[in-house]
Amino acid sequence: MAAERFDALVVEEEAPGSFTRRIKSRSIDELPPGELLVKVRYSSLNYKDALSALGRPGVTKNYPHTPGIDAAGEVVSCSDGAFKSGEKVIVTGYDLGMNTPGGYGQYIRVPSAWGVRLPEGLSLKESMAIGTAGLTAGLSLQKLVQAGVRPEHGEILVTGATGGVGSVAVTLLAQAGYQVVAVTGKARETEFLTGLGARQVLNRDAFLQNSDRPLLKERWAGVIDVVGGPMLAAAIKSTGYGGVVTCCGLAGSAELPLNVFPFILRGVSLLGVDSAQAPSTVRNEVWQRLAGDWKPQRILEQVQEVPLAQLEQKFDAILKGELRGRTVVNLA
Ligand code: NDP
């Protein structure tokens, strides 16, 4: 019997450095080996997906390729018995969508260790509205909490606040009772950010003004940064004594123009956050919180849904930092 065929977004390098994207029919036989075969219902759009889809260096080495670092759907089969057929699962991170065909195809086949049982309290669509961006925001909050940062310690700064990670971070922090200050390059989105729970919204250019001084006035008890570069440096320099800063992204820059003063004079800590290789115990724990007391209702209410065919216009926009909140991809 012929293997089932399905639709997938396929990125091809037609000439060196020139990439095209088309929806193509693929066969399940073409998927790599793995214990877990999933019928994907939803995926989502993350910064890394756009890098892969546009052929930017650092994410995908070999083309043709199907991006999509997030996928949620039903188990078709699982050869090692880790999941039952029909069970709902989430697969995010690891190599999915990087060099393993990802969630922009209607089927994925991956190691069963990459799967997370859909937690009670979330639908498949909601899990993708959260997606890698939301998981990363959750991991960042978890780091702050574990480092002892509590709401009564003072204000928490979130950079890149209207983006995927930032908007979920603002929501999670505000729901947990923290005083959130959001910094954004989009003045027009002030109402969106206060709607998610930000107490104050700062303009990115104003925030960066005079920030090249060795130390800045102490303000933050904690920071969730997604931007890197001068923004992260300014955030660290304005973190108060004993404060904690998490760093997960490079939407602005991969550089960190900084001196050691915040660390050696104020005891500031800088903690790295990675969602792709996060151990399954940590991943499961954060997903359980995101489905329960951390469930980011305001993000879920405002998520945008697009079919695979309409993703094209979003890739450039996310890399330019123009998108707001989260975008779910419907694979139906
Ligand atoms: P988005 O594009 O959705 O959000 C990034 C936001 O950063 C933008 O919306 C914008 O927000 C701000 N921004 C963009 N460009 C600049 C700039 N030049 N200077 C300052 N601010 C800028 O991306 P995601 O939220 O999906 O991802 C954010 C970052 O986190 C990416 O670098 C991504 O690779 C990384 N990431 C890392 C993960 C990990 O496991 N470590 C997992 C997920 C993401 P505003 O206009 O509000 O300022």
Looking at residue 236, its pLDDT comes to 98
Model pTM score: 0.97
Each residue of 38-65: b (16+ CB within 10 Å) or e? Answer: bbbbbbbbbbbbbbbbbbeeebbeebeb
Is the minimum distance from the CB of 208 to ligand 1 under 6 angstroms? no
Say if residue 79 is exposed, middle or buried (CB neighbours under 10 Å; 0-12, 13-18, 19+).
exposed
Q: Is it the case that residue 264 has pLDDT exceeding 70? A: yes
Contact 311, 45 (CB under 8 A): yes
Domain boundaries, the chain: 5-118+302-330, 133-272
Sort residue 4 into left (φ over 0), alpha (ψ -120 to 50) or beta: beta
Ligand 1 pocket check for 227: Cβ under 6 Å: yes
Q: Looking at residue 1, what is its pLDDT?
A: 56
Q: How far is the CA of 308 from the centre of ligand 1 (A)?
A: 22
pLDDT reading at 22 higher than 90: yes
Q: What is the pLDDT of residues 157-208, one digit of tens each?
A: 999 999 999 999 999 999 999 999 999 999 999 999 999 999 999 999 999 9
Atom of ligand 1 nearest to the CA of 46: 26
> How much is the pLDDT for 332?
87
Residues 6+ apart with CB under 8 A from 31: 37, 101, 107, 108, 109
Q: Does 5-118+302-330 match 133-272 in CATH topology? A: no
Of ligand 1's listed atoms, the one at least distance from the Cα of 275 is: 40
Q: What are the pLDDT digits (tens) for 8-18?
A: 999 999 999 99
What distance in Å separates the CA atoms of residue 277 and residue 98, rounded to the nearest whole number?
13
Any idea which fold 5-118+302-330 has? Quinone Oxidoreductase; Chain A, domain 1 (3.90.180)
pLDDT at 51: 97
Q: What is the residue-averaged pLDDT of the chain?
A: 97
Mean pLDDT across the stretch 31-57?
97
Distance 304 CA to ligand 1 centre (A): 17
**Is the CB of residue 274 below 6 angstroms from any atom belonging to ligand 1?**
yes
273 lines ligand 1 (CB under 6 A): yes
30 C-alpha to center of ligand 1: Å?
33
- Phi first, then psi: give them for residue 214, nearest 5 degrees: -60, -35
pLDDT at residue 2 in the model: 66
Residue closest via CA to ligand 1's atom 43 equals 133
212 lines ligand 1 (CB under 6 A): no
Protein residue closest via CA to atom 23 of ligand 1: 47
Examine residue 64 and say whether the peptide bond preceding it is cis (omega within 30 degrees of 0): yes
pLDDT reading at 3 higher than 80: no
Look at residue 331 and tell me whether its pLDDT is greater than 80: yes
pLDDT tens profile 277-306: 999 999 999 999 999 999 999 999 999 999
Distance 27 CA to ligand 1 centre (A): 34
Residue 230's pLDDT band, with cuts at 50, 70 and 90, is very high
Beta bridge partners of 96: 100
> Tokens 């290789």, residue?
277
CATH of region 133-272: 3.40.50.720
